[in-house]
Amino acid sequence: MGNGARAQQKRERNAKSNASKDPKSQLKTNEAAKNVVCQVCRQTFLLTVREPALLQHAENKHSKVR
């Protein structure tokens, strides 16, 4: 009665299909995307960083340098 057995079968099927997939790491991709570099401290930022975030970094880290 009910769909308990059907749901359990579906979970087992999905577990088998997901078990064959290898975990994928994005560490190398993230390192490759870091191509914005602070000229003062050489800290790297992702390509998608916005200008306000860079300005905030400059104010917080390099206020004495200016």
Q: What is the pLDDT of residue 32?
A: 85
Q: What is the pLDDT of residue 19?
A: 67
55 in helix, strand or coil? helix
Q: What is the pLDDT of residue 20?
A: 65
In a domain, 36, yes or no: yes
Q: What is the pLDDT of residue 30?
A: 83
Q: What is the pLDDT of residue 65?
A: 64
CA distance 58 to 24: 34
Q: What is the pLDDT of residue 4?
A: 85
Residues with pLDDT less than 50, the chain: none
Q: What is the CA angle 43-29-61, rounded to 5?
A: 15
Total count of domains within the chain? 1
Q: What is the pLDDT of residue 27?
A: 86
Domain range for 64 is: 23-66
In a domain, 8, yes or no: no
